[in-house]
């Protein structure tokens, strides 16, 4: 299979009195790495022809060491032509271990409450970083979808930064984020709206900005809710201009009246 790759794990259990073989064989012309309890015990990487490898796991496990151990295999076919891959292991009480995925999906959705223009687009900035404060090294796509799941467009999250837009009930999906990735998402055009957000249906946060971490073993959903602020009715009248002129007249009239009365008396 061209460009084939696989990862799998097996778990085996030893008793104190087990003295049988603990062996692993490999023959092939591609890259292979084998780890015993996280320790590298077989490394056949790089460009090479078909080679064989034999590992005696007793070299890494003490006799009488009872308990469970895990053997992990990583195999990659780097070429576009035929390949050879043969493996065999002799272990007691073996069971397969389902692989755990190290990445997940982040979904950001928009909700609008109240009467608003359905064509209004809301803009967002997103930043991601790892535990040590550095930005992620890979680029990620930000895929935008309609409320019924129709794909609209893709923008790019690169060097830890990205932007996207959403209309009411639309959403974006960022796939393959490493578990434990930290993120901050901020809505940038909120005029006329009160904004709140929730992470995974949690308690609402009255803010246009949210900070979170992608969880281990599941995907995550961030919901931004924009509530329209009430607007004063437009009556179509002249507004306050006549009240302003009326107030000015009331202020100026008494002095003018008194001045006119004095002039008449003097005459």
Residue 4 has pLDDT above 80, yes or no: no
Residue 193 has pLDDT above 80, yes or no: yes
Adjacent-strand bridge partners of 25: 54, 88
pLDDT of residue 94: 79
Q: What are the tens digits of pLDDT across the range 37-55?
A: 989 998 887 766 777 888 8
| 136 and 130 Cβ atoms separated by less than 8 Å | yes
**Mean pLDDT of the 119-124 span:** 95
Tell me the chain's radius of gyration from C-alpha atoms: 35
CATH class (in words) of the domain with range 5-97: mainly beta
CATH 2.60.40.1140 domain residues, the chain: 103-228
- Superfamily of domain covering 103-228: Collagen-binding surface protein Cna, B-type domain (2.60.40.1140)
Residue 220 has pLDDT above 80, yes or no: yes
- Of the candidates 88, 70, 80, 91, which has an alpha carbon nearest to the alpha carbon of residue 8? 70
**Mean pLDDT of the 162-178 span:** 95
- In the structure, what pLDDT confidence band is assigned to residue 111 with cuts at 50, 70 and 90? very high
CATH 2.60.120 domain residues, the chain: 5-97
Helix (H) or strand (E) holding 263: helix 241-266
**Mean pLDDT of the 32-38 span:** 89
């Amino acid at each position: 299979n061209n460009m084939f790759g696989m990862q799998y794990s097996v778990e085996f259990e030893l008793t104190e009195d087990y003295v049988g073989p603990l062996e692993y064989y490999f023959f092939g012309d591609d890259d292979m790495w084998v780890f015993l309890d996280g320790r590298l015990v077989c490394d056949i990487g790089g460009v090479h022809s078909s080679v064989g490898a034999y590992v005696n796991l007793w070299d890494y496990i003490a006799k009488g060491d009872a308990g469970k151990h895990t053997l992990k295999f990583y195999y990659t076919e780097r070429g576009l032509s035929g390949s050879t891959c043969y493996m065999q292991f002799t272990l007691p009480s073996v069971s397969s271990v389902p692989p755990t995925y190290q990445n997940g999906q982040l979904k950001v959705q928009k909700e609008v409450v109240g009467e608003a223009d359905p064509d209004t687009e809301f803009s967002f900035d997103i930043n991601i970083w790892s535990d040590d404060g550095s930005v992620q090294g890979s680029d990620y796509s930000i895929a935008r979808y309609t409320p019924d799941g129709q794909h609209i467009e893709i923008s790019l999250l690169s060097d830890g930064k990205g932007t996207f837009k959403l209309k009411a009930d639309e959403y974006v999906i960022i796939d393959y984020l490493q578990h434990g990735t930290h993120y901050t998402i901020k809505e940038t055009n909120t005029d006329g709206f009160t904004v709140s957000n929730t992470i995974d249906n949690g308690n609402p946060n009255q803010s246009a900005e949210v900070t979170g971490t992608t969880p281990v073993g599941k995907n995550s959903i961030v919901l931004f809710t924009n509530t329209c602020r009430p607007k004063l009715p437009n009556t179509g009248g002249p507004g306050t201009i006549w009240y302003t002129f009326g107030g000015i007249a009331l202020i100026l009239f008494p002095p003018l009246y008194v001045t006119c009365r004095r002039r008449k008396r003097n005459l």
